[in-house]
Amino acid sequence: MSDATSRGRMTFGHGTAMYVGAVLGTGVIALPALAAEAAGPASLLAWLALVLLSAPLAGTFAALGARHPDAGGVSTYARLAFGERVAAVVGWCFYFAVPLGAVPAAMFGAAYVSAAVGGGTTTTALTAAALMALVTAANAVGLQLSSRVQLVLAGLLVVLLLVSVGLSLPHADMANLRPFAPHGWSAIGAAGALLVWSFAGWEAITHLAGEFRHPQRDLPRATAAAVVLVGALYLLVAFATITVLGPGAARTEAPLGELMAMGLGGNARWLAAGAAVLLTLGAMNAYYAGAAKLGAALGRDGALPAVLAEGSVAGGVPRRSLAVHATLSFCALAVVVAAGVGPRPLVLLTTGSFVAVYAVGVAAALRLLPRRSVGRAAAMTAMVAVAALLVMSGPYLLWPLGVTGAALLYLRLGKRRAVRADEERSEHGAEERPGERLDSVAELS
């Protein structure tokens, strides 16, 4: 542990920025409108509930990351608590969820650019591909550069969000809160299932815990700062979207742009596009960095091909794992564009995988964290939150279930290959002539 810590370069500020980028991310661009469409003003209760539920969840993963800083993140915690198979399953669920999530993330930001330039589907697709390429290039250079970029991006996006909300709130009308639950109270659950996307990310930074200079000190501090900052910003933007835009909040694809236009007057599409691009780059940067590190750790541990193990140590750049992740992301984007599928199903599939990861991660925390510690208390509270998230995810848990089957099959095939290799070595050893065996022994001696 000490070696990994001494080689890390991330500070409290870098860690907070990575968290803000990973969690705040693209959810603030589109999710306030999607949640308003699902539940109306009552979606504010879903926002509040997820802000409160995310605090113990974030605290749990921060405690695990501080105690066991490793590139494997939740996969490592699962291995320590439950063994290699569960670790591989969790690793696969996260690693193969991020390429799916990268597509709607990039398209959310790209849609703002298309609105600004007056483009259509082609413009959105090309812009999304450009965002993916830019984030891949930044992470290929190295994590130190990526974390510095993230610090700048996080600062800019926080300022932009505060300015947008601050200028638009004078136009708020409390009458827009009525009727409060136009689609019934059960619609809050549907809104909550969508909003899980907005709060996914507390587990992503655990893959980078070994990159901190002092993970035991700085990781919990960065987590606490990010929980307060992200929760406040989400609630402010959601409240402004409902009270300022009113019924139109459910119909807009660019709620942040509408808030900016309301506050600044005239056409604020370019400013909104700039904010959307910053948010998208911040979120994708954090997830690409975490997923690339995880892929390298899985290759190191035998859960993925060993060729991906390059860069698994602290300070290393996992370029091979990053290349696989980027390729899968571009392929997913191509499929989505060709099929004309909207982002909503991909959002739900991705969040289904993240919820499955949360469930195993929290269960591991209950085994690994010391009794009567703050982290274990957070884990016990987080287990209630995860149970609620599992109920919200419903049929979208089928995706992580399928990934689980694929991971177990890979492990079984790998075990068979290892057994065959051992048998072949034994057969070759038996075929040696006695004289050759004696010569070999003499050489060794």
Is 28 within a domain?
Answer: yes
Encoding tokens for residue 167? 């200028």
Is 166 within a domain?
Answer: yes
Is 293 within a domain?
Answer: yes
Has this prediction a pTM greater than 0.85?
Answer: no
CA distances, 50 to each of 54, 254, 354 (Å)? 6, 22, 14
pLDDT of residue 130: 94
Is 279 within a domain?
Answer: yes
Helix ranges (H only) for 118-251 are 121-141, 143-168, 187-199, 215-245
Segment among 202-206, 360-364, 385-389, 433-437 with least mean pLDDT:
433-437
Encoding tokens for residue 270? 């370019």
Considering its fold, how many domains does the chain have in total? 1
> At a CB cut-off of 8 Å and minimum separation 6, what does 295 contact?
95, 304, 308, 318, 321, 322, 324, 325
Is 237 within a domain?
Answer: yes
pLDDT of residue 324: 92
CA distance 233 to 246: 19
Which CATH number do you get for residue 23? 1.20.1740.10
Amino acid at 132: M
pLDDT of residue 159: 81
CA distances, 207 to each of 65, 190, 364 (Å)? 8, 30, 15
The per-residue pLDDT for range 230-287, each reduced to its tens digit, is 888 889 988 998 998 888 777 776 677 778 777 676 567 777 788 788 778 877 877 7
Segment among 11-20, 205-214, 434-443 with least mean pLDDT:
434-443
- Give the SS3 label for residue 429: helix
Say if residues 122 and 269 touch (Cβ distance below 8 Å): no
CA distance 372 to 309: 36
Q: What is the largest CA-CA distance in the chain?
A: 96
Number of neighbouring beta carbons within 10 Å of residue 2: 7
Is 433 within a domain?
Answer: no
Say yes or no to pLDDT of 18 above 80: no
pLDDT of residue 418: 67
The per-residue pLDDT for range 154-208, each reduced to its tens digit, is 777 788 788 888 888 888 889 989 889 888 888 888 788 778 777 776 766 666 6
Residue in 269, 344, 276, 338 with CA at minimum distance from that of residue 106: 276
Q: Which domain holds residue 367?
A: 2-401
Encoding tokens for residue 42? 């009552």
Preceding amide of 41 cis, omega within 30: no
As a whole-number percent, the residues of the chain with pLDDT over 70 amount to 83
What spatial distance separates the first Cα and last Cα of the chain, rounded to whole Å?
37
Is 81 within a domain?
Answer: yes
Is 17 within a domain?
Answer: yes
